[in-house]
Amino acid sequence: MTQATVNIGVVGHVDHGKTTLTRALTGQWADTHSEEVKRGITIKLGYADADFNKCKKCGGYYTSKKCPCGGNGEFVRRVSFLDAPGHETLMATVIAASSIMDGAIFVIAANEKCPQPQTIEHLMVIEASGIKKVVIAQNKIDLVSKEKALEHYNQLKEFLKGSSLENAEVIPVVANSGINVNALIKALVDNIPEPDRSKGEPLMYLARSFDINKPGTVIKKITGGVLGGSITQGVLKVGDEVIISPGIRREAKGGERYDQIKTKITGLHAGGESLKQAHAGGLVAVATEIDPALTKGDAIVGCLLGTKVPEARSELRLKIKPLPRVLEKFADTYIENEPLVIGVGTATTVGFVSRQKKKEGVTVKLKKPVCVNAGDEIAIMRRANNRWRLYATAEITE
C-alpha cells in the first residue's frame, strides 16, 4: 500500500465549493459530522485521500479508476486533502490545519465579487503560515458568462497583487460536475512537490481523536483510542512507545493541570488500509492503548505525539508581527489581561497579556499549555467589534 506523501489544504470563503471540490478530487465527502451535514458547512477539519494517475494515452491526469478517455494510466502519487472551514467563526480551525499543509488549493467562486471577507482572511492564514505552494481554483464558472468570468479573473489577480500568491496558477473549474479537474490535478503535481521529512525523531501533530467503539460493545472487545493527524518528521512503527503532550486536563487544587500520556502504538492506518510503519506526509490514524473515553470527541486535538516532544509551556514571550492586510483596525499596544487566541501547530488556546515591553516583547499566560520551542512561529487572533480576527504572526523568543 502506498501512503500519501503530501498534505494539500482546501481553503476559501464559506460556500465557495471547497467540500464539493474535495469530493470531485477524491470521490469522498469530507463533511461527516452530523451537524456539518445538517447545516451544509464544514465545522471540523475534514480529510480524504486520492491517487493521482497520468494517462498513457491522452497524457491527462485523473483520480478515478480509469481515465475518462478510456486509456490506462500510471500512478503518480497519493495525496491527502484537508477541507478547512470557511466561516469566520471557525478561523481558528483553519489556522490549526495550516500547520500540517504542504500546499493548498485556494477556492474562489466566480459568481461573487472578489474578495469576500473570508477570502481575505484565508489569504492571511496562507501567508502567515508560510504556505508558498498554492494553486487557485476559480470555481462555479458555469454560473456566469464568459465576460463575467474574465471580469472576476481580473478582480482575483488584482486581489492577489503584492501577495505571496501573486503568480499562483489559476485554474477555472466546475466542482459540481468535475469539469477541468484534470487540469487542476496537473497544476497540483507541477506546483506542490513532495517534501523530504524522513530525518529526525518522529513527531506528529494531532488534528482529530476518536472513540471508535460502538455503544454496547462488551468490555473484552473495547479497543483503545484512535488519533488522527500528520507526521511532520521521522517514522512511527507499530509497537513504538510514544508520549502525547500536553496530554489530559486534570482537576487539581488551585486550578487544573495537564498530564502527559504514555502509550503504545497498536496499529497504523492510512487510506483505509493497515500499515506496519508510517512516514511523514499524508494523514495517518494511530491506534493506541489509551482509554477511549479520553480521546472521544477530539478531546486531545492540538497535542503532539512522538518519542520525544518539546516542553509543554503555560507562559510565552512573543515578538508579535502584525499582518499587512487586516479586516479591522487595532491599537498598537495591549491592555492588561487582554485575551489573544493563539494557534500553535494544531493547537488553539487563549493567552492573556501579562506584560509588554518594547525590547522584551509581549508575555502571555496561557489557559491551556502548548508544546513549543524558542524560535517557533505561531498565529495570533485579536478581538475587534465582537469578532475574532487574524491579527499577527509571532516568534517565540523565550
C-alpha span between 218 and 376 (Å, rounded): 45
- Secondary-structure breakdown of the chain: helix, strand, coil percentages, each rounded to the nearest 5: 20, 40, 40
C-alpha span between 332 and 351 (Å, rounded): 18
Instruction: Give the pLDDT confidence score for residue 161 in this predicted structure.
Output: 93
- Examine the pLDDT at 318 and tell me if it is beyond 90: yes
Instruction: Give the pLDDT confidence score for residue 240 in this predicted structure.
Output: 96
Q: Are 368 and 269 part of one and the same domain?
A: no
- Examine the pLDDT at 72 and tell me if it is beyond 60: yes
Last residue of a domain, one of 280, 306, 332: 306
Q: Map grid coordinates 489509551 to a residue.
A: 290
Q: Map grid coordinates 479537474 to a residue.
A: 181
pLDDT bucket at 166, cuts 50 / 70 / 90: very high
- Examine the pLDDT at 291 and tell me if it is beyond 80: yes
**Domain CATH code at residue 330:** 2.40.30.10
CB 201 within 8 A of CB 41: no
Q: Which residues have CB under 8 Å from 221's CB, separation 6+?
A: none
Q: Which residue has the higher pLDDT, 390 or 85?
A: 390
Q: Are 321 and 286 part of one and the same domain?
A: no
Q: Are 120 and 252 part of one and the same domain?
A: no
Instruction: Please list the residues that pair with 319 across neighbouring strands.
Output: 395
Please tell me whether the overall predicted TM-score, pTM, comes out greater than 0.85 for this model.
Answer: no
Domain extent for 260: 203-306
Q: Are 80 and 175 part of one and the same domain?
A: yes
Torsion region of 107: left, alpha or beta (phi above 0 gives left; psi -120 to 50 gives alpha):
beta
Comparing C-alpha atoms, which of 120, 301, 157, 121 is closest to residue 225? Answer: 301
Segment 117-136 shows an average pLDDT of 85
Segment 214-229 shows an average pLDDT of 90
- Examine the pLDDT at 346 and tell me if it is beyond 80: yes
In-domain check, residue 1: no
C-alpha span between 60 and 40 (Å, rounded): 32
Q: Are 90 and 233 part of one and the same domain?
A: no
Domain total in the chain: 3
Instruction: Give the pLDDT confidence score for residue 30 in this predicted structure.
Output: 47
Q: What is the pLDDT of residues 139-153, one digit of tens each?
A: 999 999 999 999 999
